[in-house]
Amino acid sequence: MSAENVIIRFDNVSFHYTEDKPILDSVNFSVREDAKITIMGQNGAGKSTIFKLICGAADIPEVEKLKPAEGLIHIRNNASIGIALQVMPKRFFGLTITEYFATAFSEQTYNLDKRIADVLAIVDLSIPLSKRIEEMSGGQQARLLLAYALIQKPDILLLDEPTNNLDSAGIEHLTGFLMMYDKTVIVISHDADFLNAFTEGVLNVDFQTKKVEQYVGNYFNVVEQIQAQIEREEKKNAQLRKSIQDRKDKVNFFAHKGGKMRKLASKLKEEVSEAEEEMVNVKQDDKTIRDFTIPAQPWSDILVHITSVGTIQHHEIVTKPVDITLWKKDRLQIVGPNGIGKSTLLKTLALEKTESAVINPAIKVGYYQQDFSGLDFDKSVYESLADMMDVPDNQTIYATGAAFLLTAELMKNTVGSLSEGQKGLLCYARFVLQKPGLLILDEPTNHINFRHLPVIAKAIDNFDGAIIIVSHMPEFMEHITITQTLDLGR
């Protein structure tokens, strides 16, 4: 790779939030101009940290920036950077769309409305520019975050979980756009099919070693390369272990002999030491959470009765009559395009008392919000889990956290310090301790490593209470038995 074509280079970059908790250790990699690159790694490995370090090296305004503890990050002279964040920052919620896009520029832009219209067309979003950010659905906000990055026409486009909250049409539109985009793109995503469609190289952040390994090839090809590497290392170690044991057995036999036999035993001991030094640290694949059960609150009566729902049509709320009753083991899937009002309906059901949707007041409701706004970010992870128990039990809390890769060390941290994927796993750990009668799940795959999704789908399908769910991931929903469907688009 010629130096002229390199647009980003990390030279021995290390980073930590505290000295005893390294995130990246002497990381080296290069990204060439116009490349399409995926950053992969398990939740909490440091993927989003790399984005923040890139933004810090370029001093990008309006985003969180980090500086390395050691090493250097080189961004080619004058290369501009645009980043589409995972979640819309709360500070923008009170702004109109026009005001929001104005923050992307350091100086006043006189043709701003025209540029906004052009970029909204690229992300396939039609919406009045006077609408406030807080009034938009999660899917609309996801498209807006992408448009915000694109309006700057960056040389380097950073996308952090861009398919979260997007419906299938939105994902298809985004995939086509990225395939045609003629500049550098670096993507963090857990959507394997989406990644495989356009990426040509992978940066794998190893959670154990804190290193970044660079691979060439599409996403599925790289996953196969990593698995083959693991198998080669395990095979080499198995051969070395056999050889070491054979030599140790001979050492034990010859050590009690005299003369030349004792010298031979000494030589064999040296060979054992050399062989042990040749043992390699087998690359560990991403950890997957083990099977779990969400205990259900005992219940034999009606849990939910819905008589009307509101949908958003032509930017106005229209109320429609329905007749939906949910009992134990019922699963209601709510479908419809982005912006139709799915998340608004779930929020109304979970948090507001309304005559049109009655949940038995004795029912405990577990609510997965796509932006995790139901979590108290200032509490520790331990406190967040303890809140779910009538009588907190230290051993149960730590055991449940560990089952969702929330280690004893992470338990001390605030919820706000977790990665988005770890916040998602925290929500499922809370459900296990809460023992709800009703689960309301708004995009329950958002931010979650794809390796965990089959385990989570199985737990949801086996849940003995009732479920109301919105999800734009068909391969996830295939594993869940749906008993009723409400199509807000009809």
In this predicted model, what pLDDT tens digit does every residue of 381-400 receive, in sequence order?
999 999 999 898 999 999 99
**Within 13 Å, how many C-alpha atoms sit on residue 91's CB side?**
4
Which residue in 165, 223, 164 sits closest to 190, CA to CA?
164
Would 286 be classed as within a structural domain?
A: no
Task: Find where tokens 């737990």 sit.
Answer: 459
d(C-alpha 263, C-alpha 251), whole Å: 10
Would 213 be classed as within a structural domain?
A: no
**Within 13 Å, how many C-alpha atoms sit on residue 56's CB side?**
17
* Domain end among 163, 182, 207: 207
Would 291 be classed as within a structural domain?
A: no
Residues 116 and 175 in one domain: yes
The pLDDT assigned to 236 comes to 74
The pLDDT assigned to 265 comes to 64
The pLDDT assigned to 482 comes to 94
Amino acid at 436: P
The pLDDT assigned to 481 comes to 94
Residues 182 and 247 in one domain: no
Residues 24 and 160 in one domain: yes
Would 283 be classed as within a structural domain?
A: no
Which residues span the domain enclosing 249?
224-278
Q: What is the CATH number of the domain that holds 93?
A: 3.40.50.300
Buried b (16+ CB within 10 A) or exposed e, 24-42: bbbbebbbbeebbbbbbbb
d(C-alpha 489, C-alpha 312), whole Å: 9
Residues 431 and 467 in one domain: yes
d(C-alpha 369, C-alpha 457), whole Å: 17
Angle at 343 between CA 341 and CA 349, to 5 degrees: 100
Residues 57 and 201 in one domain: yes
Would 293 be classed as within a structural domain?
A: no
**How far is Cα of residue 318 from the mean position of the Cα atoms in its chain?**
34
Residues 176 and 263 in one domain: no
Residues 193 and 228 in one domain: no
Residues 121 and 268 in one domain: no
What does the block give as tokens for 482?
Answer: 């749906």
The contacts of residue 103 (CB under 8 Å, 6+ apart) are 62, 92, 95
Would 297 be classed as within a structural domain?
A: no
Residues 116 and 252 in one domain: no
Residues 178 and 32 in one domain: yes
d(C-alpha 86, C-alpha 311), whole Å: 26
The pLDDT assigned to 98 comes to 92
The residues of the chain scoring below 70 in pLDDT are 1-4, 59-63, 165, 251, 253-266, 268-269, 272, 274-286, 314-315
Would 61 be classed as within a structural domain?
A: yes
Q: Whole-prediction pTM value?
A: 0.65
pLDDT in tens, 71-128: 999 998 878 888 888 788 888 999 999 999 988 887 777 789 899 998 888 888 888 8
d(C-alpha 198, C-alpha 219), whole Å: 9
Residues 354 and 319 in one domain: yes
Question: How many domains does the chain divide into?
Answer: 3
d(C-alpha 465, C-alpha 300), whole Å: 10
* Domain end among 207, 237, 269: 207
Residues 156 and 30 in one domain: yes
**How far is Cα of residue 56 from the mean position of the Cα atoms in its chain?**
22
List % helix, strand, coil for the chain (3-state, nearest 5). Answer: 40, 25, 40
Would 298 be classed as within a structural domain?
A: no
